[in-house]
């Protein structure tokens, strides 16, 4: 958005795409104007960056002041936005534990959300809209859109140790007869006001059994995957990012209560450009099918 001294009667559009309505905004006399663009059209270029970690989004926008013609006072600007990388991990035991892939029911874990930024004291992050599902359409909401926990037996209200980190201890649970759990959450990134603290969700103590369930076993197998795809592609404000992770919860028999430590932790490596998950075991190595 930009402000003008006088009423703005012109257009804001992506260079070369004036005839495409979705890439142009026509103003009608206000003193503030702007344009919102999707990531997947309007010649918007996306470039992944490793240092700093995130994605650069770039395009060229023209501000035309005359309602009918391009004149000498018009301006073109190359606009570049940076979206930092965000991550959701499940750690073994507590905040300093290792990322965990396999766990047993009741095992202590730590849910951790982080955003990377090269600058300090600049951004704030709030985690909200968290769902867990089994991959077959059985979906349960555990954090609402305000970032408040819904079921104290699944996840309590989050703590925010830093501006760009949230976390909470929990115990592993699972669906009946299904071991896989998929977590999907959203993180809202905002600019931190000078000399102020980041705003945090104001939540009451969550009750037991308050999680909201949607879908069910009768849902078609592809429904859950399609739902996740639609959520990923939905038109969210530009300062919201989606994060995902998964965990396998195992039922251990009474004569073998503990899952071997070497099987809990995962190490994500790359071979020939493909991710490979390795876990050390006695007299051998477990390798994920991603490596083949």
Q: What is the pLDDT of residues 187-244, one digit of tens each?
A: 998 889 888 999 999 999 999 998 888 765 444 444 444 444 334 434 444 578 888 8
Q: What is the pLDDT of residue 191?
A: 87
- pTM assigned to the model: 0.61
Where are the domains positioned within the chain? 2-84, 86-252, 260-292
264 band by pLDDT with thresholds 50, 70 and 90: low
Residue 93: pLDDT over 70: yes
Residue 14: pLDDT over 50: yes
Count other Cβ atoms within 10 Å, centred on residue 256.
9
The helix/strand/coil state of 267 is: strand
Spatial distance between the Cα atoms of 146 and 36, rounded to a whole number of angstroms: 24
Name the phi and psi angles at 69, rounded to 5: -130, 160
Domain 86-252 = CATH 2.60.40: yes
Q: What is the pLDDT of residue 16?
A: 92
Exposed, middle or buried, 186 (CB in 10 Å: 0-12/13-18/19+)? buried
Residue partners of 132: CB distance under 8 A and separation at least 6? 139, 140, 142, 154, 181, 182, 183, 184
Residue 277: pLDDT over 50: no
Q: What is the pLDDT of residue 24?
A: 94
Q: What is the pLDDT of residue 141?
A: 96
Residue 284: pLDDT over 50: no
Residue partners of 235: CB distance under 8 A and separation at least 6? 38
The beta strands (E) that lie in 147-266 are given as 159-162, 165-171, 180-191, 212-214, 240-250
Residue holding tokens 């103590």?
Answer: 205
Spatial distance between the Cα atoms of 122 and 110, rounded to a whole number of angstroms: 26
Residue 121: pLDDT over 70: yes
Name the phi and psi angles at 223, rounded to 5: -65, -45
Tokens at residue 13, please?
Answer: 């559009």
């Amino acid at each position: 958005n930009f402000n003008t001294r006088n009423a703005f009667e012109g257009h804001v559009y992506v260079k070369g795409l004036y005839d495409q309505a979705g890439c142009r905004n026509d103003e009608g006399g206000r003193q503030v104007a702007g344009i919102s663009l999707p990531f997947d059209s309007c010649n918007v270029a996306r470039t992944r960056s490793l240092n700093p970690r995130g994605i650069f989004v770039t395009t060229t926008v023209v501000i035309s002041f005359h309602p009918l013609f391009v004149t000498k006072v018009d301006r073109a600007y190359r606009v570049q936005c940076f979206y930092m990388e965000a991550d959701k991990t499940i750690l073994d035991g507590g905040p300093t534990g290792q990322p965990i892939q396999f766990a047993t029911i009741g095992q202590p874990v730590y849910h951790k959300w982080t955003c990377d930024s090269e600058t300090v004291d600049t951004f704030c992050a709030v985690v909200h809209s968290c769902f867990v599902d089994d991959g077959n359409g059985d979906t349960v909401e555990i954090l609402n859109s305000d970032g408040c926990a819904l079921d104290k037996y699944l996840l309590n209200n989050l703590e925010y140790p830093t501006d760009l980190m949230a976390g909470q201890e929990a115990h592993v649970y699972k669906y009946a007869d299904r071991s896989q759990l998929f977590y999907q959450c959203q993180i809202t990134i905002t600019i931190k006001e000078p000399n102020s603290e980041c705003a945090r969700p104001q939540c009451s103590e969550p009750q037991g059994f308050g999680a909201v369930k949607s879908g069910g076993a009768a849902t078609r197998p592809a429904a859950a995957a399609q739902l996740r795809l639609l959520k990923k592609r939905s038109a969210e404000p530009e300062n919201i990012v989606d994060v995902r992770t998964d965990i396998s919860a195992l039922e251990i028999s009474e004569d073998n209560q503990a899952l071997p430590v070497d099987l809990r932790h995962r190490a994500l490596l790359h071979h020939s450009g493909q991710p490979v998950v390795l876990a050390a075991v006695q007299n051998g190595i477990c390798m994920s099918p991603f490596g083949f």
